[in-house]
Structure 1
Amino acid sequence: MPVVSITLLPGYGSETEGRLVQRVALATRSVIAAPAAGTTVFVEHASTYMRDSRVFSGGGPSLPEASKVVRDFLGRMQDRDLAAARDCLAPGFEMVFPGGAHMTQLEQLVEWARGRYRSVAKDYERFDESWGDGVTVVYCSGTLRGTWPDGQVFQGIRFIDRFEVADGKLRRQDVWNDLAEARPA
């Protein structure tokens, strides 16, 4: 059974350490066939260390949880608070919506959506994260509900969004949903 030790410099809170321990355990079990109960990950603390002839006594900043960044962005978009939603975006942010609609500005999305529905909201079933070199990919899925342009109500329409989060900011969003298949003729 794997036993993994993490050594951190001072300055990280218990929430950050807890996230780190959970993710290292998941990563370990993705490589080693071990049950969760047989995987041990713990944090040790060092007061200082030296690298490249420099002495360090504190760790770097913690990043926000990528799923929370995504959830905050989607909530702000649903509320049509574009200024607050824009705060979640990295420079060069891009999004691709059904039909290959490629956009870089939130106002473009609002205009594009105007002919598709009057209002839309998401009911989330799950958020999944995967981690790469400098990027966290977040998938969120669930169903859409809202109002068509003619005033008819819809609900239960499947969606999946894929986000790339780097340095706590969204750099890309890809969207797939069944709105076109569910839209009244």
Structure 2
Amino acid sequence: MPVIELHVIDGYTDDDKSRLCAVLTDAVRLVVPAPPDAVTVLIHEVAAAGYMRGRQHRTPAPALPDPTQAVRAFLAAMEAREIDRAREMLGAGFVMEFPGTGPLHRLEDLIDWAKDRYRFVTKTYEGFDALQSQGDAAIVYCRGTLSGEWPNGTAFDGIRFIDRFEVTGGLITKQDVWNDIAEMKDTK
């Protein structure tokens, strides 16, 4: 039964601490074969006056935004065709790649490319998975099925997809997409 003890400077919200406990629980379970309810996480908070590094008192850095929520918000904006709102969620150097495209850097390029493939598409999510990369980016995978309309107005649904996002500082810097839409389109 693993027990994790963590010391942080006082100042994180209850939501931040809950996210931290959940992520630490999941990290332990990557190595230790324990169910979630067997992993204990204890956060010890230290007042800023009781913490010093390099002969200086410190304050905690603000918690990073939840990368999964950033991805969900971006996908919701894209599905609603709120392109300006979606664009605000993108970081410098943003790049995306879909099946059959090279790197795209602007949302308008994606929309232009997709117009001959389908009239619209919506996503049904089976799940989201987030992890921290060795660099600065958090990685978020989402998976599920696509539904929508082909250019001729015929409906489609049940097409598998998986998206991989890189999120840095709460902004999306990369999106890679894999789906079976080309295989399904050939049968219509």
Q: TM-score, normalised by structure 1?
A: 0.94
Query: What residue is the counterpart of 2:161 in the other structure?
Result: 159
Paired residue secondary structure (1:155):
strand
Secondary structure of the equivalent of 2:108? helix
1:28 is the counterpart of 2:28: yes
**CA shift digits 1:6-64 (9 cap, x unpaired):** 112122111110010111111122223334333211111100211122211x3111112
Give the structure 1 partner of residue 11 of structure 2.
11
Count how many residue pairs are aligned between Structure 1 and Structure 2: 184
Work out the CA distance in 2 between the residues paired with 1:112 and 1:148. Answer: 14
Query: Tell me, what secondary structure is at the counterpart of 2:63?
Result: coil
The amino acid that maps onto 2:116 is G
> For residue 135 of structure 1, what is the aligned residue in structure 2?
137
2:37, 2:80 → 1: CA distance?
42
**For 1:111, what is the secondary structure of its paired residue?**
helix
- RMSD, aligned α-carbons: 1.3
Runs (4+) of structure 1 exceeding 2 A deviation are 31-38
* Identity across the alignment (%): 43
Unaligned runs of 5+ in 1: none
**SS in structure 1 at match of 2:103:** strand
- Compute the TM-score of the two structures, normalised by the length of structure 2: 0.93
Which runs of no fewer than 5 residues in structure 2 stay unpaired? none
Letter in 2 for 1:63: L
Distance 2:35 2:176 in 1: 34
Match of 1:38 in 2: 38
